[in-house]
Amino acid sequence: MSQFDILHTVENNFAKSNPNYLKSMFGTTDVMPLWIADMDFEIAKPIQEALQKLVTRNIYAYEFNTGDVFKAISDWNYKRHQLQLNPKSFVQVSGVLTGIGVLIRDLSEKGDGIMVQTPVYHQFFKVIESAGRKVVSNKLKVVDGYYQMDFEDMERKLKTLNIKVILLCNPHNPVGRVWTKEELQKLVAIANTYNVTIISDEIHSDIVYSKSQFNSIASLENSENHIAVIGSPAKTFGMQSISNGYLYIQNEKIHKQVKSTVGSLYLDHGSIHSANATIAAYTKGEEWLNDLLAYLEKTINWITDFVEREIPQIILYKPEGTYQIWLDFSKLNLSDDALKHLVVNQAKLALTPGDWFEGSHTQFMRLNFASPLEKIQQAFYQLKKAVDDGVDCSFNEGEQANNCCSC
Ligand SMILES: Cc1ncc(COP(=O)(O)O)c(C=O)c1O
C-alpha cells in the first residue's frame, strides 16, 4: 500500500469542502469536492519535521531566511531541470498571484492589454482586470485532439492591439499541456519582435509526467530581457496554505524596479514557516515527489482507460503536467443546466466549471485527481452511472435535456 492511498480525515476548514463554498457554488453540500487545485495527501516527512521544529519552540520572534530559500530553489532547479539560476535575480513574494499582480503593474500601464492563452486559470482574469488592464484572449486551438498555441492569432493581436505582457501558464492549467522547447522558442521570438514581456507562471513546473519534459522560459536563449518567471513549491509539495512565491527576473532594470515595488509594500518578508518548509521541500523532498509523480501517473492511466472504455462520450485531455484533468462533456448533447444537474446532483461531484477558464467552455469541467486512487475511482463510477442513467426526473427543464429519462 502506498502512502498516497491513505484517505486522511483531519479536522479542517479546507476551502474545497467548506459547506458555505459548496452551497454557493454547487447548490448542495452532498458532493465529492474535486474542484480546487490542492492535494488530499500528507506532506513529505522532512517538511513535517521542519514545521514541527518551529512550532515546538513556541517563540515567534522576527526571523528571516530568504538567502537560504533562494539557494534551495536554485539548487533544486539545477538538479531537476538542469537550469542554472542566478541567486541575485530572485525576489521573494508572498504568493504567485501577488507576484503576478506586482509584475503587471510594473510592466504595463492602466488600459494596456495583457494576453493570456485561454482557457486558462481563472484568477488570471481577476489579477489583470483588478489592476485596470485588459484581458486579451489568445485562444488555444485543438489540433488532432491536442491543445496548441495559436501563434498566428497571437501575432495578429500583438500587431494591432496595445499589448505589453503575455501571461503564460506553463504547465498549463487547466488543459495540462507542458509547453515544448520549440513552442517556447517561438513565443520568445515573438515577444522579442513585438517588444512585450512574458510573465511565465511556472507554479506547476514540477508536476510533469514521464512522457514530457518541463522547460522553463528562463532556459531559453535570448529570453533574458523579456521574461519574468514566477514559481512556488505550493502545488508540488501540497503546501497551498503555507507557501510563498518567488520571482526570477534576469533583466537588471526590471529586477530593480520590481524589487523596489515589492519592498515598498513589505511583501518580501515571508514567514519563517514558509521559508523553512520551502528549504526542507527543495533539499529533502525529492524522493517523496518522485513517489507522488509515479502515483499520480498511475491515477491518470486508470482514469484514461476507464473513460475510454466506460464513458467514451466524455472527451478527456490526458495531462502532460498538473494534477488537473480537463473533460469535455459536449458529446452528451445536454443543455448547460442539464449537464450541471447530471454532474452535481446525480454523480454528486463538485468539479470546476469550464466557463471559469473561458466563457464559452460551458460544456467542460476540470477535475482534480490529487487524491487516493480509490476516491478517484469512486468519482468516476458515480459519473459513469449518471451518464448511463441519463438526466433524471428531478431536473425541471426536461425538454432541454435531450436524454432525459421518459418518466
Ligand atoms: C497557474 C496557477 N497560478 C497560481 C496559482 C495560485 O498561486 P498562489 O496561491 O501562490 O497565489 C494557482 C492555483 O491553482 C495556479 O494554478
pLDDT at position 394 is: 84
CATH code for residues 3-43+287-389: 3.90.1150.10
pLDDT digits (tens, 9 = 90+) for 350-383: 999 999 999 999 999 999 999 999 999 999 999 9
pLDDT for the residue numbered 397: 65
Tell me how far the alpha carbon of residue 332 lies from the centroid of ligand 1, in angstroms: 31
Assess whether pLDDT exceeds 90 at residue 403.
Answer: no
State mean pLDDT over 145-167: 98
| Topology alike, domains 3-43+287-389 and 46-284 | no
**What's the 245 CA to ligand 1 centre distance in angstroms?**
9
Contact call for residues 229 and 86 (beta carbons, < 8 A) = no
393 pLDDT band (50/70/90 cuts)?
A: confident
Ligand 1 centre to CA of 356 (Å) is 14
* Nearest-angstrom CA–CA distance, 267 and 133: 22
Residue 85 has a pLDDT of: 94
pLDDT score, position 44: 98
- 39: CA distance to ligand 1 center in Å? 13
Task: Tell which atom from ligand 1 comes closest to the C-alpha of 244.
Answer: 10
**Number of C-beta neighbours around residue 123 at 10 A:** 13
Helix (H, G, I), strand (E, B) or coil at 195: coil
What is the band of 386 on the pLDDT scale with cuts at 50, 70, 90? very high
Q: Is the C-beta atom of 245 inside 6 A of ligand 1?
A: yes
Residue 13, C-alpha cell as written in the block? 476548514
Kindly state the average pLDDT of the residues 168-194: 97
Q: Does residue 101 have its Cβ closer than 6 Å to ligand 1?
A: no
Q: pLDDT of 189-213, one tens digit each?
A: 999 999 999 999 999 999 999 999 9
Task: Name the residue of 177, 203, 267 to mutate for ligand 1: max ligand atoms within 8 A of Cβ.
Answer: 203
Q: How far is the CA of 191 from the centre of ligand 1 (A)?
A: 23
Mean pLDDT score, 306-333: 98
Tell me, in angstroms, the distance from the centre of ligand 1 to residue 202's CA. Answer: 9
Q: Where are the domains of the chain?
A: 3-43+287-389, 46-284
CATH annotation of 46-284? 3.40.640.10
Is the model's pLDDT at 175 over the cut of 90?
yes
User: What is the percent of the chain with per-residue pLDDT over 90, rounded to a whole number?
Assistant: 90
Is the Cβ atom of 274 under 6 angstroms away from ligand 1?
no
By most ligand atoms within 8 Å of CB, the mutation choice from 172, 173, 242 for ligand 1 is 173
| Distance from chain centroid for Cα 216 | 15
Q: What is the pLDDT of residues 91-134, one digit of tens each?
A: 999 999 999 999 999 999 999 999 999 999 999 999 999 999 99
State the average pLDDT over residues 317-341: 98
DSSP state of 16: G
- In the numeric block, which cell numbers belong to residue 321? 503536467
How high is the pLDDT of residue 405?
41
Banded pLDDT at 399 (limits 50, 70, 90): very low
Ligand 1 pocket residue status of 168, Cβ below 6 Å:
no
Give the pLDDT mean for 372-396: 95
> Does residue 341 surpass a pLDDT of 90?
yes
Alpha carbon nearest to ligand 1 atom 7, residue:
96
269 pLDDT tier (thresholds 50, 70, 90): confident
Cα–Cα distance, 170 to 217 (Å, whole number)? 9
Task: Report the pLDDT value the prediction gives residue 222, as an integer from 0 to 100.
Answer: 81
CA angle centred on 290, ends 277 and 172, rounded to 5°: 80
pLDDT > 80? residue 398: no
Cα gap 54→48, rounded to integer Å:
10
Distance 96 CA to ligand 1 centre (A): 6
Question: What integer is the mean pLDDT of 144-150?
Answer: 97
The whole-chain average pLDDT of the chain stands at 95
Cβ of 232 less than 6 Å from ligand 1: yes
pLDDT of 406 > 70? The answer is no
User: Is the CB–ligand 1 distance for residue 136 below 6 Å?
Assistant: no
Phi then psi for 300, rounded to 5 degrees?
Answer: -60, -45
Residue 257 grid coordinates: 524596479
Beta carbon of 97 within 6 Å of any ligand 1 atom = yes
Q: Is 300 in the pocket of ligand 1 (CB under 6 A)?
A: no
Residue 234 near ligand 1, beta carbon < 6 Å = yes
Which pLDDT score is estimated for 375?
A: 98
